[in-house]
Structure 1
Amino acid sequence: MGEPYPKLSAHALTRTFGRGAGAVDALGPLDLSVAPGEFVCLVGPSGCGKSTLLRIAAGLLRPSAGTLEIRTSTLRPAAMIFQDYGIYDWKTVRANVRFGLDIQRVPRREANARADEWLTRMGLADFADAYPAALSGGMRQRVAIARALAVEPELLLMDEPFAALDAQLRWILQEELLELTQTTRGTTLFITHSLEEAIVLGDRVLVMSARPGRIIAEHRPPFPRPRSGDIRDTPEFTSLKSELWDLLRKEAVLA
């Protein structure tokens, strides 16, 4: 048997904003392939086009040239989680988690059951009837993760979802995400500024250049799955983090 078709593939992908003399080349040309069940982390200097790539994958932006294709076997190709949570303040926690299911016209009883299942898994069952304003930042991000996973997407797109959280909470949510993704074996494309986060979570870590962003390096953290955050204490972790930082520092100078 050959290799499975990639879940996501991009070929000669570019994105330019504006026209004429004021045009800004934000991305590419970029080639990318993400295999089914793979967790891929993208790191790169600020403004290198990481979020632009994710928005193209989510269908929120059109590429200027090239292609990005997501191969799916269901009507639930992708779900996206943003840094700013992206949940609705006027909806209860349960209604927020149920939102994608409502769009899919899943019957209300089933949708509530699935929402409640994910609220329980994310430790939010006691807050189902609360509104987001009553929640901490970490709890709001758990709601966003539960909402994305409740629709059982084939591809999870995560745009620096833990960047606004303090270090301790970020560590906790990294552990929770590790456990969730290793259980569901979904496919994830994850953007982060944190090299530590990328190494802990990723099957592969891809380094992007300064704008216009292209992939200039690929590393596979040498830690088998299932893994935990304990890998942070290993010499291999420290060595890989240092190697990635050397690459990124050069690109940051150019950004």
Structure 2
Amino acid sequence: MGEPYPKLEATDLTRTFGRAPHQVHALGPVDLAVSPGEFVCLVGPSGCGKSTLLRIAAGLLRPSRGRLEIRTSSSHPAAMIFQDYGIYDWKTVLANIRFGLDVQRVPRRAANARAADWLARMGLADFAHAYPAALSGGMRQRVAIARALAVEPELLLMDEPFAALDAQLRTILQDELLELTQSTRTTTLFVTHSLEEALVLGDRVLVMSARPGRIIATRRPPFARPRTGGIRSTAEFTALKDELWDLLRKEAVPA
């Protein structure tokens, strides 16, 4: 409320792959608006087009029909974080975090200072000159998050960034991301299979149907911000998770 325009807006967004008669209708139509500073989570069964939607938002895919608009005052409006980290094995941790700043031609001294700040914030200061092969999966994902946020994007796109991690580490990184995004207020569109993750992190949780993915339900977790991972143990959390699972299970079972 009070914001005149959404940061991201999709209208009648549709994506198909291939050509008739073997064409696959992967996504849509989808209508979606994400407000500035809002954290929106997308959940849905495998193959429903969640990642396709995110890749269209990132400019990696074109829509087949409809449009997706990002309203921005920046020349680098969006940063994307993938499940497989997407960091460079041949660059040090510092150089990985600085990469987006180098692309933007930020002067080296300023870029190093900003990268060092994110190293400290993500608990990676002791690993500035290490290479990714020396890091755990959780640390590699912290590098990916720091690299994305170092460019101060207006929109953060996250495609199941914690899916490859074990449950304990996943919970730790969820809590770290929660604290981080509440302090930066970065507009975020976050794809996940985990209902728990969506409810901990999201201002809004959108449930997508089986392919072709459409938005079939919206829920707003009733937890005030700033919130902590402690909400996982509340009755409201469990009840909403069960409600969403009932919706998802109907979509996940083949007709």
1:38-61: CA deviation from partner (whole Å, max 9, x where unpaired): 000000000000000000000000
Distance between the aligned counterparts of 2:130 and 2:231, measured in 1? 36
* Structure 2 letter corresponding to 1:217: A
Name the counterpart of 1:241. Answer: 241
Extract structure 1 runs of 4+ deviating beyond 3 A: none
| 8 Å contact kept, 2:3–2:35 | no
Determine what percentage of the aligned residue pairs are the same residue. Answer: 84
Count residues with an aligned counterpart. Answer: 255
Match of 2:187?
Answer: 187
Match of 1:147 in 2: 147
Q: CA RMSD in A?
A: 1.0
Secondary structure, in 3 states, of the residue corresponding to 1:172?
helix
Instruction: Establish whether residue 80 from structure 1 lines up as the match of residue 80 from structure 2.
Output: yes
Taking the TM superposition and a 5 Å limit, the aligned residue runs for 1:9-20 are 9-20=9-20
C-alpha deviation, 1:89, in angstroms: 0.2
Structure 1 residues 39-89: Cα deviation after superposition (integer angstroms, max 9, x where no partner): 000000000000000000000000000000000112220000000000000
Matches within 5 A, 1:56-95: 56-95=56-95
Structure 2: distance between partners of 1:123 and 1:166: 19
Q: Distance in 1 between matches of 2:183 and 2:73?
A: 20
2:172 pairs with 1:169:
no
2:21 alignment partner, SS class: helix
The CA distance in 2 between the partners of 1:8 and 1:101, in whole Å, is 23
Give the Cα separation in 2 of the matches to 1:144 and 1:243.
32
**Cα distance in 1 for residues equivalent to 2:118 and 2:106:** 16
- Unaligned ranges ≥5, structure 2: none
Give the SS at the match of 2:3.
Answer: coil
CA contact (8 A) 2:89 2:132 kept: yes
Cα displacement string for residues 116-139 of structure 1 (whole angstroms, at most 9, x for unaligned residues): 100100000110000000000000
Residues 148-177 of structure 1, C-alpha deviations (whole Å, 9 max, x = no match)? 000000000000000000011001100100
**What code does the residue aligned with 1:23 have?**
Q
The whole-number CA distance in structure 2 between the counterparts of 1:46 and 1:141 is: 22
Normalised to the residue count of structure 1, the TM-score between the two structures is 0.99
Tell me: CA distance 1:58–1:161, structure 2 relative to 1, closer, same or farther (3 Å). Answer: same
Q: Give the whole-Å Cα distance in 2 for the aligned partners of 1:3 and 1:174.
A: 27
**What letter matches 1:201 in structure 2?**
L
The answer as to whether partners of 2:3 and 2:36 remain within 8 angstroms in 1 is no
* SS in structure 1 of the partner of residue 115 of structure 2: helix
Runs (5+) with no aligned partner, structure 1: none
The question of whether the paired residues in 1 share the 8 Å contact of 2:49 and 2:211 is answered with yes
* 2:239 alignment partner AA: S
Question: Conserved in 1, the CA contact under 8 Å of 2:87 and 2:144?
Answer: yes
Task: Summarize the Cα distance change of 1:2–1:225 in structure 2 as closer, same or farther, 3 Å threshold.
Answer: closer
Shift of 1:4: 2.5
Alignment of 1:24-43 (within 5 A): 24-43=24-43
Q: Is the 8 A contact 1:4 1:36 kept in 2?
A: no
CA distance in 2 between partners of 1:79 and 1:114 (Å): 16
One-letter amino acid matched to 1:21 = P
AA aligned opposite 1:108? R
Q: What's the secondary structure of 1:190's corresponding residue?
A: strand
Question: Could you tell me how far apart the structure 2 residues matched to 1:116 and 1:3 are?
Answer: 33
Name the SS for the 1:20 alignment partner.
coil
- Note the alpha carbon deviations across 1:92-148, whole angstroms, 9 max, x for none: 100000000000000011101100100100000110000000000000000000000
Cα distance in 1 for partners of 2:28, 2:234 equals 35
Alpha-carbon separation, structure 2, partners of 1:200 and 1:2: 25
Partner Cα separation in structure 1 for residue 242 and residue 187 of structure 2? 27
The TM-score with structure 2 as length reference comes to 0.99
Q: Is the 8 A contact 1:92 1:131 kept in 2?
A: yes
